[in-house]
Structure 1
Amino acid sequence: MKTVLPLDDAAADLATVGGKGASLARLARAGLPVPGGFHITTGAYRAFVSAFGEEIAHAEEARGLFAEHDMPAEIAAEIRRAYEALGDDVAVAVRSSATAEDLPDMSFAGQQDTFLNVRGEALLDAVKRCWASLWNPRAIAYREQNGVPHDGVALAVVVQELVEAESAGVMFTADPVTGNRDEIVVNASWGLGEAVVGGQVTPDTVVVSGGAVVRSQVGDKTVMTVRTPDGTREEPVPEELRGRPVLEGARAVELAA
């Protein structure tokens, strides 16, 4: 199995690049404006853990095993080549994408880690930290609650150019509470999207149906994720922005379209 694939590769399916990766590949192939990047496949994860995989189930701190081992030289070289092809010292988002993720009857959203504003050699460490997050306590507990065997899961990583976002969020093409497919629900807040995905902020909610905004609620946006020279940090939202809608109606309708 290849260890690195182009973002829009036809081989980028659930088993190879995880749920998030497979969805992004479909969006990219459909011509939607997906930030450029590449997949690091589940094959790379399995090759890495092959040296210590039997120890994971018995380790009190499984994630520590990932930090202790070096990435195989061939995989590291492939990742470096794919990263360098994006440009010179490009800032990227390094996003976990598990094979047990975004399934019809359960969602693993937020169970594994994402690292934003990563550059250069820090990429390889961020990839290993993504892999290790498959074994964080909340991911292990969620699998056990839902009867997902630990030995059957693997983690891919999506590396994408980081958007310098003034605001960000999540858009659902079906209402996540009711399942209604006639409504598109947008959650949005100031800064990068991690504060929204990680649940640190109460975002705005905008509901679009039939080409118009049918409901909206302004959230108390107290925290935002911002870039730093070597990563990100959380900081308070300026007072004048907390009660201001992130998305005007026309912008929300454009997104939904």
Structure 2
Amino acid sequence: MHYLLDPPHPIDPQRLGGKATALARLSAAGLAIPDWFVVEPAAFEASLLAPLPETEVEVAQVLRALTPSAALLDALKQRLLLAGGGHWAVRSSALDEDGAQHSFAGQLESWLNVPAEEVAQRVVDVWRSGFAARVWAYRREAGLPPRPHPPAVLVQRMIDAEAAGVAFAADPVNGRRDVAVVSAVHGLGTALVGGEADADTWRVDEAGSIIEFSPADMHIAHRCDAEASDGLRVETLSGVGAPLSDAQVREVATLARAASRYFERPQDIEWAMADGRLYLLQSRPITALGALADP
């Protein structure tokens, strides 16, 4: 088997999870998404030397010795050579993850700025994180079957962002569907997602008017750094302005709304800006809105 799927191949959400399904659909819709492919869960199963046991302790023992199969190593080598090597983000696309009813966001490991020659090992690391103790605990609390499914793994071209962040197509605080919320930091979005930096935040109405701006006191930014152990370095900021112009804020809000129209429900997106071009990195439903009425 090849074990890798590229857009525009059809994506089965029951096998490949929410993130891969969303990216496949948005790629087909023509939105600007960095080059990506997905490692199927079958690659995990083919890498096992024996059937996966049922209990948490036994699974952990199996995963400690797990290595990628020769077929997967060859498939990754060929795909990454075709893409010209470079650096990649490696993250999960697990079943039950980033859905409308359950969100496993932050439960599984992600690896950023990974050199092509290290992608295979990071795929294994994502597999292992899919069976971490916190995932078993979350599933028990959520009333899901106890043993996790092996996650599909997204491999996406790393964007060396000048600015990045998140955007909500509806206000997650008050539920208003006519207001988008854009949050941005300098550099990579990891500083925001990891809680190391506060973000400048804008609220944008349906006409594209910025109705509120809340600046943050930013002291650091994350930048790509191939020499760092985790692929990132922390840069100290001083006297910097907002990471986005007003026009770019509107562009991000428009992107969040475009994704929401496509999925017919408000979306929470991750985005990055590099060389003046806006990229969509992820899109998922805003789970916290529930059934609040439109204003």
TM-score bracket for the superposition, by shorter chain length: 0.7 to 0.9
TM-fit CA distance, 1:42:
2.2
Deviates more, 1:218-227 or 1:208-217: 218-227
After TM superposition, give the deviation of residue 162 of structure 1 in Å. Answer: 0.9
Separation of aligned partners in 2, 1:50 and 1:173: 45
Q: C-alpha separation between the residues in 2 aligned to 1:195 and 1:141? A: 27
Alignment of 1:247 onto 2:244: yes
Contact 1:16 1:43 in 2 (8 A): no
The offset of 1:50, in angstroms, is: 6.5
Match of 1:118 among 87, 100, 114: 114
Once the two structures are superposed, what CA deviation does each residue of 1:110-150 show, in whole Å capped at 9, x if it has no partner? 11111111113211111111111112343333222212223
- Rounded to whole Å, the distance in 2 between the matches of 1:171 and 1:13 is 26
3-state SS of 1:108 partner: coil
Q: What corresponds to 1:6 in structure 2?
A: 6
**In structure 2, C-alpha distance between the alignment counterparts of 1:149 and 1:200, rounded to whole Å:** 34
- Structure 2: stretches of 5+ with no match in the other structure: 255-295
Partner-residue secondary structure (3-state), 1:54: coil
Corresponding residue SS for 1:20: helix
Alignment match, 2:209: 212
Question: Quick one: which of 155, 165, 171 aligns to 1:175?
Answer: 171
Q: Structure 1's 78 and 94: CA in aligned 2 closer, same or farther, altered over 3 A?
A: same
- Tell me how many residue pairs correspond in the alignment: 251
Higher relative CO (Cα under 8 Å, sequence separation at least 6) belongs to 2
Kept in 2: contact 1:56–1:65 (CA 8 A): no
Q: Which residue of 2 aligns with 1:21?
A: 20
Q: How far apart, in 2, do the equivalents of 1:49 and 1:179 lie?
A: 45
Is residue 164 from structure 1 mapped to residue 160 from structure 2 by the alignment?
yes
The Cα offsets for residues 210-236 of structure 1, whole Å up to 9 and x where unpaired, read as: 212122212233332222224423525
Equivalent positions of 1:63-74 (< 5 A) are 65-74=62-71
Within 5 A, what are the aligned runs for 1:89-128?
89-128=85-124
Backbone CA RMSD of aligned residues: 2.3
| Residues 16 and 152 in structure 2, CA contact (< 8 A), matched pair in contact too | yes
Would the aligned equivalents of 1:52 and 1:65 in 2 still touch at CA under 8 Å?
Answer: no
Structure 2 counterpart SS, 1:256? helix
Q: What is the alpha-carbon distance in structure 2 between the residues aligned to residue 55 and residue 147 of structure 1?
A: 17
On the 8 A contact 2:184/2:244 being kept in 1, the answer is yes
8 A Cα contact 2:87 2:114, kept in partner: yes
CA spacing shift, 1:215–1:40, aligned 2, 3 Å:
same
Distance 1:69 1:115 in 2: 18
Q: Summarize the Cα distance change of 1:179–1:85 in structure 2 as closer, same or farther, 3 Å threshold.
A: farther
Deviates more, 1:97-106 or 1:135-144: 135-144
> Take 1:108 and 1:186, find their aligned partners in 2: how far apart are those partners?
22
Secondary structure of 2:107 counterpart: coil
Distance 1:145 1:191 in 2: 36
Matched, 1:33 2:29: no
Distance 1:227 1:79 in 2: 22
> CA–CA distance in 1 between the matches of 2:34 and 2:187?
17
Query: The residue matched to 1:51 in structure 2 has which SS?
Result: coil
Contiguous gaps of at least 5 residues in structure 1: none
Q: TM-score when scaled to structure 1?
A: 0.87
